[in-house]
Amino acid sequence: MNASPSRTVRAAAIQIAPDFERPDGTLDRVCSAIDEAAARGAQIAVFPETFVPYYPYFSFVLPPMLQGAPHLKLAERAVVVPGPVTQAVAERARARSMVVVLGVNERDHGSLYNTQLVFDADGTLALKRRKITPTYHERMVWGMGDGAGLKVVDTAVGRVGALACWEHYNPLARYALMAQHEEIHCAQFPGSLVGPVFAEQMEVTIRHHALESGCFVVNATGWLTDEQIRSVTPDAQLQKALRGGCHTAIVSPEGKHLAPPLTEGEGMVVADLDMALIAKRKRMMDSVGHYARPELLSLAINDRPAQTTVPMHPTQPFASRSPEHEHDDTHPQPATDDRAPVLRVAAG
């Protein structure tokens, strides 16, 4: 058994409000929070889902015909990767020697994506992944990601994986990261959404993943002020759907909270992760090791990036082939595209 070395990592899960007004306002808030987390000794900081510039709360409460203007505004402020926003965060991560996990609205030409970025402590962008299936109202805003981002990356604090919101309800997506032996799982939710039941469900979800994966979970949710909620919708009934749903927390591989969760207001949850607890948990139950049954159950992953065009390179033009040679092996078929999706088995 590969036991985790005896070391401790200090983590910060950050719950703050975005800036709806200034285009660079939320980025400024991110950089300030990184500084504050560093002052508290944090080696990894996790921010909420699509925090820069802000989560599309409007899509949850406005009918489609009224979403045009806020959708375009979000697109104008969205993040190009790489670009000025990623450069600024990379520089701050490097300056503070901190791993930073940031959720952004990524703009790729005419489409937006729910994207998670993992910056290593030297400022390197270690991972860019897109949420594989936007949830319900989110499909009006974001395109779908692909399996290329279902990766765990080696960082200064250990092996880090990330999923956004209800991706945690896709057990195969979680298993893809478990099979890569993640040590610190970074979860991101929008916060200030649905109501208290959302926070209750979230706690069950992140504690279950910690237990099943045998890893730490650092979960960050966003926060909206009353003024911001009113700016999204003046309807008092709809405003209720933009409150609650906050549960910023850090959970051990034994499913225990390492500090009191944050469910109201701005702040950060800071806790020390004793990495030896991973081996302690997996000695009893390793879902992708001695507790797995790969000969019965395994996961196939298409981990190639999605492509809208695939060039073909035939060895011989179709027009030059005669009917009598249709089944003649001396006239080879067009070459198989070597970039076609390949299934990779992940189990054990």
The enclosing domain of 216 has a CATH number of 3.60.110.10
Beta-carbon contacts of 22 under 8 Å, excluding residues fewer than 6 positions away, are: 28
Q: Which amino acid is at 275?
A: M
> Element (H or E) spanning 345, and its range?
strand 343-346
Is the residue at 192 inside a domain?
yes
Per-residue pLDDT averaged across 218-246, rounded?
Answer: 97
Structure tokens at 218: 């650092």
Q: How far apart are CA 198 and CA 232, in angstroms?
A: 19
- In a domain, residue 314? The reply is no
Q: What is the pLDDT of residue 313?
A: 81
Compute CA 325 distance to the chain's CA centroid, rounded to the nearest angstrom. Answer: 52
**Catalytic pick among 165, 186, 215, 246:** 165
State how many domains the chain has: 1
Contacts of 145 (CB under 8 A, 6+ apart): 113, 114, 115, 129, 130, 131, 132, 133
pLDDT at 339: 40
Has residue 29 been placed in a domain? yes
Within its chain, how far is the Cα of 181 from the centroid? 17
pLDDT tens across 258-316, in order? 999 999 999 999 999 999 999 999 999 999 999 999 999 999 999 999 988 988 887 65
Confidence of residue 135 (pLDDT cuts 50, 70, 90): very high
Domain for residue 98, yes or no?
yes
Confidence of residue 20 (pLDDT cuts 50, 70, 90): very high
What percent of the chain shows pLDDT beyond 90? Answer: 86
Note whether residue 241 is domain-resident: yes
pLDDT digits (tens, 9 = 90+) for 63-115: 999 999 999 999 999 999 999 999 999 999 999 999 999 999 999 999 999 99
Average pLDDT of the residues in 214-242: 97
**Domain housing 77:** 8-284
Residue 169 CB neighbour total at 10 angstroms: 13
Quick: pLDDT tens for 312-327: 887 655 444 444 444 4
**Tens-place pLDDT, residues 33-65:** 999 999 999 999 999 999 999 999 999 999 999
Residue 346, pLDDT > 70, answer: no
DSSP characters for 47-58?
A: --TT-BS---TH
Q: Which of 49, 106, 138, 183 is catalytic?
A: 49
pLDDT category at 332 given cuts 50, 70, 90 is very low
Specify whether 215 is catalytic: no
Tell me if 61 is assigned to some domain: yes
Catalytic pick among 31, 106, 131, 183: 131
3 falls within a domain: no
Q: Is residue 328 part of a domain?
A: no
Q: Is 49 a catalytic residue?
A: yes
pTM of the full structure:
0.88
pLDDT over threshold 60, residue 23 = yes
Contact indicator for 108, 79 with CB cutoff of 8 Å? no
Average pLDDT, the chain: 91
